[in-house]
Amino acid sequence: MGLKDTVDKAVDNVKDTTNEAIHRSTADSEKAKRELAGNTMTTGEKVGSMVNQAKNSAQAEVDKAKRDVRNNT
């Protein structure tokens, strides 16, 4: 692996790590929002929040998987 490949891999890893952290943070904030709002949220708002949490958790796992695959090849 040449220097350019090593640098490209490092840049991609930083990008995926950053994106993973953003998605996990967003998922955690959705959960916290539901916990704080409690019964003041409508059922629709709660469902939307849970969907957003699941979506962001899935995106975080994709970013982690991309990084893992890249590091294992």
State pLDDT tens for residues 2-47.
Answer: 999 999 999 999 999 999 999 999 999 999 999 999 899 999 999 9
Number of domains in the chain: 1
User: What pLDDT is stored for residue 73 in this prediction?
Assistant: 81
Alpha helices (runs of H) in the chain, residue ranges in sequence order: 3-37, 43-71
User: What pLDDT is stored for residue 71 in this prediction?
Assistant: 92
User: What pLDDT is stored for residue 65 in this prediction?
Assistant: 97
Q: Which domain holds residue 19?
A: 3-71
Please choose, from the candidates 65, 73, 66, the residue with its C-alpha nearest in 3D space to the C-alpha of residue 1.
73
* pTM for the whole structure: 0.86
AA letter at 32: A
For the cut 90, the answer to whether the pLDDT of residue 63 exceeds it is yes
Q: How far apart are CA 23 and CA 20, in angstroms?
A: 5
